[in-house]
């Protein structure tokens, strides 16, 4: 089984960025624990701060991978183009958030991508990604 993880803008700063909200671990370190926990799964990881590059990665992996875990960061709340990219592919996409976006500012309560996704997992810290792996595994 092949799972693509895509992290959007500012998520390259995990561990440094607002640790009270996003925790103090870097994603690279967390990814190693995920790989160790699921040795049978092949994980690919991609991070970009650029909307079009995220769309390119969704298109590139969206016909061959078994699942995509997408934390689109702030583009979650703004991007019709990412919504359309998810609709255009075959691979199921799980929308992932580290923080509970519904317990935060009102502008984070709306997701433009959720309706194109298989489901949404938010609010469990980095463990949200593991829960999304479980969702793909079924
Ligand atoms: C986030 C929540 C978004 O609202 C925010 O813009 C992010 C991170 C999360 O993982 O909690 O960049 O997607």
The residues near 79 (Cβ < 8 Å, ≥ 6 apart) are: 51, 72, 112, 113
pLDDT of residue 1: 98
Q: Across residues 91-105, what is the average pLDDT?
A: 98
pLDDT of residue 61: 98
Q: Where are the alpha helices (DSSP H) in 38-78?
A: 51-61
Alpha-helix residue ranges (DSSP H) falling in the chain: 19-22, 27-37, 51-61, 80-88, 127-137
Q: How far apart are CA 126 and CA 133, in angstroms?
A: 12
**pLDDT (mean) for 123-128:** 97
Q: Look up 97 and say whether it is catalytic.
A: yes
Mean pLDDT of the chain: 97
DSSP state of 74: G
Q: Taking the CB of residue 128, how many other CB atoms lie within 10 A of it?
A: 21
Residue 34 has pLDDT above 90, yes or no: yes
Q: Does the active-site annotation cover 109? A: no
pLDDT greater than 90 at residue 24: no
- Tell me, what's the pLDDT at 32? 97
Whether 65 has a pLDDT exceeding 90, the answer reads: yes
Distance between CA 7 and CA 17 in Å, rounded? 14
Closest C-alpha among 90, 88, 62 to residue 6: 62
Which ligand 1 atom sits nearest the alpha carbon of residue 123?
11
Q: Which of 30, 75, 83, 97 is catalytic?
A: 97
Question: Residue 62: pLDDT above 90?
Answer: yes
Say if CB 41 and CB 2 are below 8 A apart: yes
Protein residue with least CA distance to atom 13, ligand 1? 73
The pLDDT, as a whole number, for residue 120 is 98
Alpha-carbon distance of 119 to 127, in angstroms, equals 16
Q: Which of the four pLDDT bands, split at 50, 70 and 90, describes residue 134?
A: very high
Pairing of strands 93-97, 119-122: parallel
The minimum-distance atom of ligand 1 relative to the CA of 10 is 12
Q: How far is the CA of 129 from the centre of ligand 1 (A)?
A: 13
Expressed in angstroms and rounded, the spacing between residue 115 Cα and the centre of ligand 1 is 17
pTM of the predicted model as reported, rounded to 2 decimal places: 0.97
For residue 98, the CA-to-ligand 1 centroid distance in Å is 7
Q: Does residue 103 have a pLDDT over 90?
A: yes
Q: What percent of the chain has pLDDT over 70?
A: 100
- Ligand 1 pocket test, pick from 108, 127, 130 with the greatest ligand atom count within 8 Å of Cβ, gives 108
């Amino acid at each position: 089984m092949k799972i693509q993880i895509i992290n959007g803008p500012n998520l390259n700063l995990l561990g440094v960025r607002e640790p009270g909200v996003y925790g103090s671990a870097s994603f690279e370190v967390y990814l190693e624990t995920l790989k160790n926990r699921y040795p049978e799964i092949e994980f690919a990881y991609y991070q970009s701060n650029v909307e079009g590059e995220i769309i390119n990665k969704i298109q590139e992996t969206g016909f061959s991978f078994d699942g995509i875990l997408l934390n689109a960061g702030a583009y979650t709340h703004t991007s019709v183009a990412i919504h359309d990219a998810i609709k255009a592919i075959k691979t199921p996409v799980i929308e992932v958030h580290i923080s509970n976006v519904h317990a935060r500012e009102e502008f984070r309560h709306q997701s433009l991508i959720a309706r194109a996704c298989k489901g949404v997992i938010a609010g469990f810290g980095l463990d949200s990604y593991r829960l999304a792996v479980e969702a793909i595994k079924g």
